[in-house]
Structure 1
Amino acid sequence: MAAIRTITPMTAAARLRGYLADPSKTLMCPGVYDGLSARMALREGFDCLYMTGSGAVMVGRTVAQYMQAGVAALHLEDQVQNKRCGHLRNKELVSEEIYLSRIRAAVNMREKLLGDIVIIARTDALQSLGFEACIERLQKAVGVGADVVFLEGVETKEQAAELCRRLHPTPALYNAVSGGVSPNISVAEARELGFKIVIFPSVSTRQVVEGLSQVLRDLKENGALPKTSTTPKNVFELCGLQEAIDFDTAAGGSMYTNGV
């Protein structure tokens, strides 16, 4: 009887924790919105990707599903369910008690499933409650089990540096939104300020909107597609064509014997 081969790969969460523990590393995470944009970012060599999207029961269920899917981390915030972008005005917050219950629910589910998913505590309280209230909320979130802190809508570099100093040694995340309320800083600048993670949530969607709008305008005006160097095969290769060929060949299939 052949022996059963057992392989226990490192989880995405474990890899993320390794990055966070590396004093020389600051993660750069481009925002993606579907499988194609995710593959494009991975092709360029990014180590980590970011995707954006109640109640304690739903938080626990989401954590369980994310863990089963192999997600490395998620962040939970203190806005009401009908939330808005963190860089818009007049955001509504839940009470501190409800916010912390969300964090506890995530931590409890992680412990129940013996997982290691990284829990990021986000607060949007800066506009309405002020900086000190944000620090207090994040400190309490860390106290109930959050691994990383995220103050949305940081207004100045000095404020950003103070956040990292006050919450140290807990890793901090910076949200780089071009045209938003926060300073537009590079990953190197974020590292100097003390941040361990920098996300760029709108980098993919913004470029797609601009590029697709231009293509559609050209098509409408000229009645013909603009020239491009991207072929259908290029797109299929990005979507995993070679992996499909390798899998079929390894299984003894002949679907791709004559090429593609």
Structure 2
Amino acid sequence: MGCTPSGQTTPSEAITPPNGIEGVVNIARSDKSGSVLGTESPRFLSNVEPPFKPLIKPLEELVDVPRKPLKDTAAPQNRVRETETPTIETNPTTTVQIRAPLAYDASAPASTRLRHMIKNLDHILVCPGVYDGLSARIALSVGFEGMYMTGAGTNASRLGMADLGIAHLHDMKTNAEMIANLKPDGPPVIADMDTGYGGPMVIDRSLQQYHLAGVAGFHIEDQVMQKRCGHLQGKEVVDIDTYISRIRACVAAAKRLRSDIVIIARTDALQSRGYDECITRLRRARDEGADMGILEGFSSKAQARQAVKDLAPWPLCLNSVENGVSPLISVDEAQDMGFRVIIFSFASLAPAYTAIKNTFEWLKDFGVTGSAVSPKTIFNVCGLQDLMVIDERAGGNSFKKGV
């Protein structure tokens, strides 16, 4: 809660800089028990008495708002933990066509663990989109079972560019490698591989680089080389034979490397060639050895549900882009439809834009950032405690005088 100079509490302004957000959203307020007290709409500069400081609570003080549990969610003891080997029960009514080990091994490569999760989890695998080390660390701290390295976020964060195929293999591989190795034994990382960055020889190298980087799975699409974000207009796709050659190159490279990396065939053909062509392309990709599919840019929820039926028991991944061209499909809805994985490409990028822009405007207008987050809060999320343990166990004295 924040206070105006008059002393009145202003919960909405307290977390929203005065010349704030570009639209009105509802902010849920909770008491310490987690029950929702109500919602308020943020107010703009004309309704605020400046200059009071916006309050952004440290991560460790944030109140968790209760979330609706997933249907048939696995018990907490079945989640992956550092100190135990989980037993993941198989839903006997669900058949998933993907090669996977019979037993879960917490010490196996991330790709092998991802395969087992896709086939055997009794709930959909939720992967928030992360684009840099901090967003990935936050996802780890929240406890997600998987992560997705977004291509749009990589273009924006590493290059400051729109998602128009400007980032290439080096940019994408190095970013994915950093994210995947923050916690190699932790949540598997699925990464965007765009079009593969070239012909079969380049695609072969791309898969090899992703494999060596510790990436658990990736999706490769059928757009032309001068591609663009899947939720922009004007997309063009290659002919089906060129697309299938990309899939064949991936499958052959994985076999040669004896890699379990999960190959996800993505099609962006819906916009220009229609639904039936998308299903044809995905079926061809499946028959060539792709492990999973993505049909990008669904025009309706009914179409998304139908795609799962048309391709079953081959598993599908849903790319959920809020405010994109597709209707919003929640985790519960995607699970009910039969999707096995759901990725949220803009889950960290969009709110980061809003928060940073608001804070910078506040700094420009009032000369302070108004943040209540300490440097130590960020450092703790980024592994400070783990580094202290490493130093102490090795006999170091870097933290003898505290932190």
Residue 43 of structure 1 corresponds to: 141
Unaligned runs of 5+ in 2: 1-105, 152-197
Question: What is the Cα deviation at residue 10 of structure 1?
Answer: 1.0
Alignment RMSD (CA, Å): 1.2
- The gaps in structure 1 that reach 5 residues or longer are 1-7
For the Cα contact (< 8 Å) 1:19–1:25, is it kept in 2? no
Q: Write 1 or 2 for the structure with the bigger share of helix.
A: 1
Q: Does 1:231 align with 2:329?
A: no
Over the matched positions of the two proteins, sequence identity in percent amounts to: 46
Aligned-residue offset at 1:136? 0.4
- The answer to whether 1:170 aligns with 2:170 is no
Structure 2 counterpart of 1:155? 299
Match of 2:204 among 47, 60, 82: 60
Aligned counterparts of 1:245 and 1:174: Cα–Cα separation in 2? 39
1:7-156 to 2 correspondences below 5 Å: 9-22=107-120, 24-53=122-151, 54-156=198-300
For 2:266, what is the secondary structure of its paired residue? strand
The code of the aligned residue for 1:39 comes to: R
2:189 is aligned to none
Tell me which stretches of 4 or more aligned residues in structure 1 moved more than 2 Å: none
Partner deviation per Cα, 1:196-223 (whole Å, 9 max, x = no partner): 1111101111000000000001000001
Q: Which has the higher Rg, Structure 1 or Structure 2? A: 2
SS at match of 1:75: strand
Q: What is residue 258 of structure 1 aligned with on the other side?
A: 401
Pairing 1:244–2:342 present: no
Partner AA of 2:142 in structure 1 = E
What is the DSSP-based 3-state SS (H/G/I as helix, E as strand, rest coil) of the residue aligned with 1:31? strand
CA contact 1:125–1:134 (8 Å) conserved in 2: yes
Q: Which has the higher contact order (CA 8 A, sep 6+)?
A: 1
**Distance in 2 between residues matched to 1:132 and 1:225, nearest whole Å:** 52
3-state SS in 2 of match to 1:203: coil
Per-residue CA deviation, residues 42-86 of structure 1 (Å, 9 max, x unaligned), is 110111111123222221112111111211100000001111111
Deviates more, 1:81-90 or 1:33-42: 81-90
Q: Which amino acid aligns with 2:267?
A: T
Query: Which amino acid in 1 is paired with 2:213?
Result: A
TM-score by length of 2: 0.61
Q: Aligned-pair distance for 1:23?
A: 5.5
Aligned-pair distance for 1:225?
2.2
1:62 & 1:36 partners in 2: Cα distance? 25
- Render the CA deviation track for 1:139-194: whole Å, top value 9, x for unaligned: 00011110011000011111111110111111101111111121201111001111
Determine whether 1:195 maps to 2:339: yes
For 1:172 and 1:154, locate their aligned partners in 2 and report how far apart those are by CA, in whole Å.
Answer: 13
1:4 aligns with none
Equivalent-residue separation in structure 1 for 2:386 and 2:209 (angstroms): 26
Q: TM-score, normalised by structure 1?
A: 0.94
